[in-house]
C-alpha cells in the first residue's frame, strides 16, 4: 500500500485515546484482513476496474503485507494486541495459488489462521489444508467466468452463490465444520430473495458450516438489512462481519436481531487504512474519501483534512450501537475478540 498511514495525525491518536482505548478489549481479533503482494497479479488491472473497485486503486493494489498489517495495528491500536484472520485478494487478476500460499506461509510463521480462496469450480481440496493453517474458505463472485465485458464487476450481475461456491467446498466445509465467508452477489443484496433462499439452502443442506456474511451481506445501508435480517436470523450457524460498515443503525439491527455472539468485528484492511467513511444516501451506499478517488465522493477544492480512517469509523459505529443497546464489557469482548476466537478454536481443536 502506498503512503501507508502517512496521513496519521495527533487528531487520530486523540480519537483512539478518547473513544476506543477504554472501550476496546485488550485483545482484538479482526475477522476480515486481506494480505497480498503486487507480484501475485498475473495481469494489470484495467483502468475501468481501477475506477470502480477500491482494492484496485493505485494506492492500494501494490500490496498489503503482514509487516504492513503490523504497522497499522501498532500505530492505530497502541497498547492493544491486535490479531487477524487473513486471506488473499480475491480478484480475477490475482494468481490464487500464490495468494493462498502467502497466507499459509504467514500463518505458519506467525501462529495465526487464514481462509483459502477457492476457484469457483474447485473440485479437489488442496493437500495439507489444515497443516497450512486454513480454517475455511473465502469464495468470491468476481472470480466467476461469466460472459460479460472484461471490465464489468460481477457483484451486481445475476450470479448465483452456487456459481462461485462449489459442491466440494460445501461438502468439505460441512464435514469439518469450517468457516465459509460469503460475499453475496446481486444488485439487490439481501433484499434479493434468491440470495436469501440460497443462504437458507446452504444452511439446511450443510448444517455444520459456519456461514459468515461478509460486510453483513454488503449491508452498508439500513435499508439493506432492516427487513432481510428477519429471513435469516433463525439460522443457528449464521454470523456476520462488520467489515467497512460505518452505520450505527445497521449495527444496531445486527446486534438486536442476531445478538452480540454472532456479530464479528472485521475491518477489510487494507482499504480500511484509508481516510473516509461509507455513507447511506437515499438507501444507496457511497464511499466518501478525504482525497479524490474515482470510486468515491470527494472534492478537490474543499479541505477534508479532518477525516479519520475507515477502520476508526467502523469501530465508532459499533460503539454507538453497543452503547445505545446498553450492552456491557462481555458483549464488547465477544464482538471484538471471543466470537472469532471460539469459531477458530472449534475448528482447530478437531484437527
Ligand atoms: Zn474484503
pLDDT tens profile 106-125: 999 999 999 999 999 999 99
> For the segment 284-294, what is each residue's pLDDT rounded down to a tens digit?
999 999 999 99
Q: Which CATH fold topology does 10-348 show? A: TIM Barrel (3.20.20)
Residue of 36, 18, 154 whose CA lies nearest to 94: 36
Residue 3 CA to ligand 1 center (angstroms) comes to 20
Say which residue the cell 500464490 belongs to: 98
Residue 283 CA to ligand 1 center (angstroms) comes to 22
Residue 221 CA to ligand 1 center (angstroms) comes to 17
Residue 301 CA to ligand 1 center (angstroms) comes to 31
Residue 244 CA to ligand 1 center (angstroms) comes to 9
Q: Where do the domains of the chain lie?
A: 10-348
Residue 31 CA to ligand 1 center (angstroms) comes to 10
What is the pLDDT at residue 67?
97
pTM of structure: 0.95
Whole-angstrom distance, CA of residue 223 vs CA of residue 141: 22
Three-state secondary-structure class, residue 247: coil
Dihedral angle sign, alpha carbons of residues 305, 309, 310, 312: negative
Percentage of residues of the chain with pLDDT beyond 90: 85
What is the pLDDT at residue 155?
58
Residue 327 CA to ligand 1 center (angstroms) comes to 27
Residue 34 CA to ligand 1 center (angstroms) comes to 6
| Helix pair 310-324, 248-258: axis angle to 10 deg | 50
Name the residues around ion ligand 1, CB cutoff 5 A.
Answer: 268
**Could you tell me what percentage of the chain is helix, strand and coil, using 3-state DSSP and rounding each to the nearest 5?**
40, 15, 40
Model confidence at 151: pLDDT above 80: no
Residue 45 CA to ligand 1 center (angstroms) comes to 17
Amino acid at each position: 500500500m502506498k503512503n501507508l498511514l502517512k496521513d496519521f495525525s495527533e487528531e487520530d491518536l486523540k480519537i483512539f485515546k478518547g473513544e476506543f482505548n477504554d472501550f476496546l478489549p485488550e485483545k482484538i481479533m479482526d475477522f476480515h484482513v486481506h494480505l497480498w503482494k503486487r507480484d501475485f497479479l498475473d495481469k494489470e488491472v484495467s483502468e475501468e476496474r481501477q475506477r470502480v473497485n477500491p482494492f484496485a486503486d493505485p494506492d492500494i493494489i501494490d500490496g498489503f503485507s503482514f509487516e504492513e498489517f503490523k504497522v497499522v495495528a501498532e500505530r492505530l491500536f497502541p497498547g492493544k494486541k491486535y490479531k487477524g484472520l487473513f486471506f488473499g485478494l480475491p480478484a480475477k487478476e490475482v494468481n490464487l495459488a500464490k495468494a493462498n500460499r502467502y497466507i499459509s506461509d504467514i500463518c505458519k510463521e506467525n501462529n495465526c489462521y487464514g481462509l483459502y480462496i477457492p476457484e469457483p469450480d474447485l473440485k479437489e481440496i488442496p493437500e495439507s489444508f489444515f497443516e497450512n493453517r486454513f480454517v475455511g474458505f473465502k469464495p468470491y463472485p468476481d472470480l466467476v467466468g461469466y460472459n460479460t465485458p472484461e471490465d464489468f464487476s460481477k457483484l451486481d450481475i445475476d450470479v448465483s452463490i452456487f456459481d462461485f461456491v462449489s459442491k466440494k467446498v460445501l461438502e468439505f466445509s460441512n464435514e469439518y465444520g469450517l468457516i465459509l465467508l460469503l460475499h453475496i452477489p446481486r444488485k439487490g443484496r439481501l433484499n434479493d430473495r434468491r440470495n436469501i433462499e440460497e443462504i437458507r439452502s446452504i444452511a439446511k443442506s450443510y448444517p455444520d458450516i459456519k456461514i459468515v456474511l461478509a460486510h453483513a451481506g454488503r449491508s452498508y445501508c439500513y435499508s439493506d438489512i432492516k427487513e432481510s435480517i428477519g429471513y435469516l436470523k433463525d439460522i443457528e450457524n449464521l454470523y456476520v462481519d462488520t467489515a467497512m460498515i460505518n452505520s450505527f443503525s445497521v449495527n444496531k439491527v445486527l446486534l438486536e436481531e442476531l445478538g452480540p455472539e454472532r456479530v464479528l468485528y472485521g475491518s477489510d484492511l487494507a482499504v480500511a487504512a484509508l481516510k473516509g467513511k461509507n455513507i447511506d444516501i437515499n438507501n444507496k451506499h457511497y464511499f466518501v474519501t478525504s482525497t479524490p478517488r474515482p470510486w468515491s465522493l470527494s472534492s478537490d477544492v474543499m479541505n477534508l483534512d479532518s477525516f479519520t480512517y475507515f477502520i476508526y469509523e467502523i469501530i465508532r459505529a459499533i460503539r454507538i450501537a453497543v452503547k445505545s443497546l446498553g450492552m456491557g464489557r462481555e458483549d464488547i469482548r465477544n464482538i471484538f475478540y471471543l466470537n472469532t476466537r471460539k469459531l477458530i478454536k472449534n475448528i482447530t481443536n478437531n484437527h
